[in-house]
């Protein structure tokens, strides 16, 4: 019998339904990998951060890691690759809450919601400046599943979308596609620069001060990917120097964001505590993808969804 | 020569361009109708509130009133109708900023932006509850140009839209159309109840306490039409009793909202000072519509855009 260890926390109803649906598999539910003891685990379902190299060495029967998040950058990918272990994630399920979060922040700034709320606290009835999203331009770094959903929604609002990827290939939800090599030419035209890039060797620290100096003074920079896209100090200086109008950050170089970070107190920075992918439907959707892949596992067909290429990192 | 009086405040560049574009017309620009003195005005371009019955009696040559707003409820419509004066408005230009405002508020609540902002002020890094818009249901009272644009955008987010009008006829942006007579049947299913209804004899005070009691406890009620749709006291009680989760109000029974109104201090109410239609592009767009209609006026074709039926009031 195949042993599956689930350290991804799920409710009793979901545990029961997994066990009933897949009687060929023995499920173990534990809070940590250590709790599970010396089980001969073949399948591991995890948020990802508990799988260290050391633990991986102990799990000699491991054949498949299903990561119940999108980011796999904290995992021992090299070793997983060497051992030929299948790694899958749930990246698709993030696209709805993340794209809704990005649009929420953009529209809120455009339609002056923070000012409306501040005025309400003071019982002030006054008109304020507000702008329209229609007719603006967005540069989306990482036009994959999540970026494409952001692009699709922005297009519905009449925004011109430019996808920026390594290859510059054609992506859904984009009016135009460019490669990273051409980003400097496009930065001066963009009203929104939105990153949903994963953390890989190629994306680490790729945005530098010179990029911010090319942006419009009215531009909004949004990082919803990973905090190692750009040094915190670069963002702080760009905001302090007025090189851009606003930053909305859901990810940070160090998380939780340290109390001494100047970003907390900057009026032109929104600090979001890595919550853009949260959704009341998260577990349900993650398990749907696990279920589908588990059926593939049990069948002869080996066409898994959301397979991570361990060398590439996404 | 035709005399046009423009009390709608516009910048010098727009004044010049009107005068140059239409040499057949003598334009007078004044802050108020009284300022303009006893001119023989044929065309009046106004925000609307300065045209009283008394002044209308003095403007014996008046043939056309172009109202540079959507609402005409404060105008002497009956008398305008009796005299056969053409009344046009600019309702179409509101749809973009208003729909963006409605979506901004909905997404902001869903993605917990007010909590994120409050936490940032306290330097608190904590996850919070947030939900998805996708899969929810919206009931849109007034599925015209503005309501249709709201519906179109909501549909892009995967929201099921129900348009509620007098006739129940088919409207753009709606998955389903119902008449007012059936509203009670649909209220218990709606996650968002959004009114963009104008103020007419048929829409005044049509929402009553019993309607709110039919709504979901998790429902959000939004009034972006006119304040005389529902008594303020009815909204206050529905919020106090937890019959709905939140109200977002851009219009009020009395504006500005009096300081003593309990709505200001209610945590589950957003008080927006009638700003949802504001846009940096407002004047430009209003004048575009005026230009088009002025060309119609000077031609033989009498197919004006945005004609108000004075008896119906919209």
Contacts of A271 in chain B (CB under 8 A): 116, 120
pLDDT-based confidence at residue A32 (cuts at 50, 70, 90): confident
Which domain covers residue B43, as residue numbers? 2-92+280-298
Mean pLDDT of chain B: 94
Given strand A2-6, what is the order of strands in its sheet? A25-29, A2-6, A43-46, A64-67, A86-88
Tell whether A33 is covered by a domain: yes
Looking at the fold, whether B136 and B260 belong to one and the same domain comes out as yes
The pLDDT, as a whole number, for residue B50 is 86
| Chains A–B, number of C-beta pairs less than 8 Å apart | 137
Query: pLDDT tens digits for A278-308?
Result: 988 888 889 999 999 999 999 988 899 999 9
DSSP state of B28: E
Q: Is the pLDDT of residue A70 over 80?
A: no
Contacts of A285 in chain B (CB under 8 A): none
Tell whether A56 is covered by a domain: yes
Q: Is the pLDDT of residue A241 over 70?
A: yes
Q: Average pLDDT for residues A15-35, to the nearest whole number?
A: 89
- The count of structural domains within chain A is 2
Contacts of A281 in chain B (CB under 8 A): 132
* Chain centre to alpha carbon of residue A253: 14
pLDDT-based confidence at residue A50 (cuts at 50, 70, 90): confident
Q: A254, A261, A246, A236: which is closest to A215 by C-alpha?
A: A246
Interface test with B, best of A92, A96, A114, A116 (most B CBs within 10 A): A116
Instruction: Identify the sign of the CA torsion B130, B136, B140, B144.
Output: positive
The pLDDT, as a whole number, for residue A92 is 81
Alpha-helix runs per DSSP H in B32-135: 53-58, 77-82, 95-110, 113-121
Q: Average pLDDT for residues A105-122, to the nearest whole number?
A: 97
Looking at the fold, whether A138 and A78 belong to one and the same domain comes out as no
Contacts of A257 in chain B (CB under 8 A): 125
Looking at the fold, whether A235 and A286 belong to one and the same domain comes out as no
CATH code for the domain of B219: 3.40.50.720
- Tell whether B152 lies on the interface with A, counting CB pairs under 8 A: yes
Whether residue B209 contacts residue B234, with contact meaning beta carbons closer than 8 Å, is answered with yes
Tell whether B309 is covered by a domain: no
Contact B153 A156 (CB under 8 A): yes
Give me the phi and psi of A2, to 5 degrees please: -75, 135
pLDDT-based confidence at residue A175 (cuts at 50, 70, 90): very high
> A232 to chain B, minimum CA–CA distance in Å?
17
Contacts of A153 in chain B (CB under 8 A): 156-157
Residue A208's CB: how many other CB atoms inside 10 A? 11
Q: Which of A271, A290, A307 is the last residue of a domain?
A: A271
Q: B171, B162, B200, B166: which is closest to B77 by C-alpha?
A: B200
Contact B273 A129 (CB under 8 A): no
Looking at the fold, whether A173 and A264 belong to one and the same domain comes out as yes
Looking at the fold, whether B290 and B162 belong to one and the same domain comes out as no
Query: pLDDT tens digits for B143-152?
Result: 999 999 999 9
The pLDDT, as a whole number, for residue B31 is 80
Q: Which residue has the higher pLDDT, A93 or B126?
A: B126
Q: A249, A205, A247, A252: which is closest to A223 by C-alpha?
A: A249
Q: B81, B25, B21, B90: which is closest to B287 by C-alpha?
A: B90
The 3-state DSSP class for residue B38 equals coil
CA–CA separation, B140 vs B142, rounded Å?
Answer: 6
For the ranges A89-93, B53-57, B121-125, which has the lowest average pLDDT? Answer: A89-93
Looking at the fold, whether B170 and B215 belong to one and the same domain comes out as yes
Q: A107, A117, A66: which is closest to A89 by C-alpha?
A: A66
Q: Which residue has the tokens 């949004």?
A: A222
Angle B238-B243-B245 from CA coordinates, rounded to 5°: 95
Tell whether A107 is covered by a domain: no
Tell whether B196 is covered by a domain: yes
Query: B271 pairs with which residues across the strands?
Result: B249
- Tell whether B122 lies on the interface with A, counting CB pairs under 8 A: no
Q: Is the pLDDT of residue B165 over 90?
A: yes
Contacts of B172 in chain A (CB under 8 A): none
Residue B161's CB: how many other CB atoms inside 10 A? 25
Tell whether B305 is covered by a domain: no
Contact A133 B278 (CB under 8 A): no
In chain A, positions 96-115, which contact chain B (CB-CB < 8 Å)?
A: 96-97, 100-101, 103-105, 107-108, 110-114
Of B156, B264, B276, the CB nearest to A123: B264
Looking at the fold, whether B57 and B162 belong to one and the same domain comes out as no
Query: pLDDT tens digits for A250-261?
Result: 999 999 999 999
CA–CA separation, B215 vs B209, rounded Å?
Answer: 10
The pLDDT, as a whole number, for residue B284 is 87
Tell whether A146 is covered by a domain: yes
Pairing of strands A2-6, A25-29: parallel
The pLDDT, as a whole number, for residue A304 is 94
Looking at the fold, whether B256 and B183 belong to one and the same domain comes out as yes
Q: Is the pLDDT of residue A229 over 70?
A: yes
CA–CA separation, A126 vs A116, rounded Å?
Answer: 9
Q: Which of A271, A289, A306 is the last residue of a domain?
A: A271
Tell whether A113 is covered by a domain: no
Looking at the fold, whether A203 and A287 belong to one and the same domain comes out as no
Tokens (6 digits) for B301: 């074709």
Looking at the fold, whether B141 and B247 belong to one and the same domain comes out as yes
Q: Is this complex's ipTM strictly greater than 0.95?
A: no
Tokens (6 digits) for A99: 């794209």
Q: B118, B106, B89: which is closest to B250 by C-alpha?
A: B106
Looking at the fold, whether A225 and A260 belong to one and the same domain comes out as yes
Q: Average pLDDT for residues B266-288, to the nearest whole number?
A: 93
Looking at the fold, whether A214 and A259 belong to one and the same domain comes out as yes
In chain B, positions 230-259, which contact chain A (CB-CB < 8 Å)?
A: 255-257, 259
Given strand B25-29, what is the order of strands in its sheet? B25-29, B2-6, B43-46, B64-67, B86-88
pLDDT-based confidence at residue A242 (cuts at 50, 70, 90): very high
CA–CA separation, A307 vs A86, rounded Å?
Answer: 7
CA–CA separation, B65 vs B42, rounded Å?
Answer: 9
Q: Average pLDDT for residues B76-88, to the nearest whole number?
A: 94
Tokens (6 digits) for A184: 């400097």
- Tell whether A225 lies on the interface with B, counting CB pairs under 8 A: no
In chain B, positions 260-279, which contact chain A (CB-CB < 8 Å)?
A: 264, 270-276, 278-279
Mean pLDDT of chain A: 94
Pairing of strands A220-223, B246-249: unpaired
């Amino acid at each position: 019998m195949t042993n599956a260890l689930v350290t991804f926390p799920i409710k009793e109803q979901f545990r029961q339904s997994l066990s009933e649906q897949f009687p060929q598999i023995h499920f173990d539910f534990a809070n940590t990998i250590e709790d599970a003891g010396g089980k001969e685990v073949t399948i591991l379902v995890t948020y990802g951060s508990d799988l260290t190299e050391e633990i991986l060495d102990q799990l000699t029967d491991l054949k498949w890691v299903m990561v119940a998040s999108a980011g796999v950058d904290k995992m021992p990918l090299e070793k997983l690759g060497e051992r030929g272990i299948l790694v899958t994630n749930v990246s698709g399920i993030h696209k709805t809450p993340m794209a809704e979060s990005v649009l929420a922040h953009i529209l809120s700034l455009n339609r002056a919601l923070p000012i409306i709320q501040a005025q309400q606290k003071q019982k002030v009835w006054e008109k304020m400046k507000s702008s329209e999203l229609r007719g603006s331009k967005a540069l989306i770094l990482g036009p994959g599943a999540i970026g494409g959903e952001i692009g699709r929604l922005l297009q519905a609002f009449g925004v011109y979308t430019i996808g920026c990827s390594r290859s510059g290939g054609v992506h859904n939800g984009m009016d135009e596609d460019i490669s990273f090599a051409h980003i400097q030419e496009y930065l001066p035209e963009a009203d929104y620069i939105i990153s949903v890039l994963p953390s890989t060797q190629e994306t680490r620290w790729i945005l530098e001060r010179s990029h911010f100096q090319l942006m419009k003074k009215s531009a909004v920079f949004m990082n919803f990917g990973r905090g190692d896209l750009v040094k915190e100090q670069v963002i702080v200086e760009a905001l302090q120097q007025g090189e851009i109008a606003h930053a909305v950050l859901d990810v940070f170089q160090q998380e939780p964001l340290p109390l001494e970070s100047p970003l907390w107190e900057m009026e032109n920075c929104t600090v979001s505590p890595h919550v853009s992918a949260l959704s009341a439907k998260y577990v349900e959707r993650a398990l749907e993808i696990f279920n589908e892949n588990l059926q593939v596992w049990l069948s002869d067909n080996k066409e898994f969804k959301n397979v991570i290429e361990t060398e590439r990192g996404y």
